[in-house]
Structures are given as structure tokens and as C-alpha cells.
Amino acid sequence: MTAARYTVCMEILGRHSKVEESLPVCHTHTVGRQLTDCNATIKGIVFPEAGRLRSRKVVSRSSSRPKGKYPSWKMKRMVEWESENELNAFRLLDCDPDVISFYEQPCQVMYIHDGQVKSHYPDILVKKKCVKELWKVKPDYEAEQQKIAARTSLFVQQLPLWGYIYRVVLAKGLAMQPRLANTRLILGSGRRTVTDCEEEFIRRALSRRGSLIWSDACRGEYGQWGREILCSLVLRGVLTIDWNSLIAPNTCFVARKEDS
């Protein structure tokens, strides 16, 4: 392959994606980046041009596959999904306080495998405090296919050189209960903005009691919007629950530690 060059646009949602802090908005990476295996190597990562949200269109009228738009609390916009598995992923990411932001169909990864130039579109870019991850959401049986497994192995090894961790996220894990049910309840009730006075009231109640009980919130002991306040503070990472137990009247909401 000739030493063609791919333009990598470092803007998503009109902001720098900060792949490299010193780069301008548009930067060009040479395709001939040298890695150990010349028969299987990543050649470039192409991001959408400024003003575009996605590398490819997700929702269209012509497709027969289930697709839709999810109203993200964290992203403050409609996020497009093209499978129930991706929808589950968006809900979990929306409810994870360690996740700063996430973007659907964020980029195109150009790579060579078996002597052929190929393109791969990760489903989600996940940004956390100190790491950026590219996710591909797959049913379990697809992830085990030889072609998919070989590509995954290549990306797991080489994408960290480009500043990303690569993950194949299995549908079974995304649908795991009761975590998903808890996530939907928290998101459904926690989108209301909590005032400073309300948060201070909860802080003092938590200081006295050590934990706050869901049934007390439902009875109005923490005010008219007690349930909504607790759920909102979970979304913001102030409180947490036992995600492995279904939210019930005796569920305890406790202060979240930094590493929880």
C-alpha cells in the first residue's frame, strides 16, 4: 500500500476530542506508522468532520433493523442506537458516574489485515477521567467468531498506541439483572435537578443516619421529591446503592467513595 495519508479530525460535538492535547483541530497521521506486525496493523483513526456527530448514519427509514434515539441525561441530547444491546449500553454509561461522556459511532479505524485495507466502526467512544475506550457491542456468539476474534486481538494490542483501550462488550453482560432494572429506575426518577438546599438536607440526614432508606424516601421523609433527589444524587456520583440487589423498600443509599 502506498504512503497515503488519512486526515484525522479531532472534533466531536464541536469540541476537541483531546486525543493529543497539543494537536490542532485537524491533524494528519501518516499511514506508514511502523508497528511490529506489518501484515496486521492499524493505519489511522478518522473522526467526523467538525459539525458532524457520527462517522456514519445510524437511524434511517430504509433499515428494517430496530433502531431509535435515547434521551441521554449525561450527554443532554438524543443518542442514536441500532440495537437493544447498544441501548442497554447507553443506559449503563449514563448511570455510571465514572463516565464523563460517550459518543455513538465516533470514528472509523483503518487497518490492514491479511494484506487488505479494511475499515472498522466502533459503536461507542467512552471517556473517563484518565482513559478513553472504544467499544464494540456484540452478541456473545458473534464475538467468538474467528474473524471478529482476530480483529479484537489486533485492536486490543495496538489501539493503546493511539491512546485508546479497545473493548468488545457482550450483550449478555449489558442485559444483566438486576443492574439494568436498577439503572432504568434511577434514570427514570433521577433527571430532576437537585437544589443546594435539598442536597444539604440529604447530607445532614446521611450524616445522622449513615444510610438513607428507599421506603423512607417513598413516604416523603426526605421531602416531596425525596425519591427523585436520591436517584439524582446517584447519577451525580454523590450516593450509591448495591447494584447487585434489586431496588426494594429496604434498599440503602449510602455515600459513594471515590473508588466505588
User: What is the pTM assigned to this prediction?
Assistant: 0.81
How many C-alpha atoms does 243 have within 13 Å on its Cβ side? 16
**Given a cut of 90, is residue 151 above it in pLDDT?**
yes
In which domain, by residue range, is 245 found?
179-255
- Domain boundary (157, 174, 191) is at 174
**Shared domain check, 164 and 203:** no
Q: Does residue 55 lie within any of the structural domains?
A: yes
Q: In which element (H, E) is residue 148 found?
A: helix 146-158
The radius of gyration computed from the CA coordinates of the chain, to the nearest angstrom, equals: 21
Q: What is the pLDDT of residues 63-75, one digit of tens each?
A: 667 789 999 999 9
C-alpha cell at 167: 473493548
The total domain count for the chain is 2
- Domain boundary (154, 174, 194) is at 174
**Shared domain check, 207 and 154:** no
**Shared domain check, 184 and 164:** no
Mean pLDDT of all residues in 78-91: 96
Q: What is the pLDDT of residues 176-228, one digit of tens each?
A: 999 999 999 999 999 999 999 999 999 999 999 999 999 999 999 999 999 99
Q: Return the beta strands (E) in 40-158 as ranges.
A: 40-46, 68-72, 77-81, 99-104, 108-113, 116-120, 124-128, 132-138
Over the chain, what is the mean pLDDT? 84
**Shared domain check, 130 and 27:** yes
Say how far apart CA 130 and CA 123 lie, in whole Å.
20
**Shared domain check, 158 and 47:** yes
Query: Which long-range CB contacts under 8 A does 77-85 form with residues at least 24 apart?
Result: 79/104, 80/54, 80/104, 80/105, 82/58, 83/137, 85/137, 85/138, 85/139, 85/171, 85/174, 85/175
Confidence of residue 150 (pLDDT cuts 50, 70, 90): very high
Q: Does residue 260 lie within any of the structural domains?
A: no
76 conformational bin, left if phi > 0, alpha if psi -120 to 50, beta if neither: left
Show the 3-state SS of 176-197.
CCCHHHHHHHHHHHCCCCCCHH
CA 151 to chain centre: 21
Confidence of residue 94 (pLDDT cuts 50, 70, 90): very high
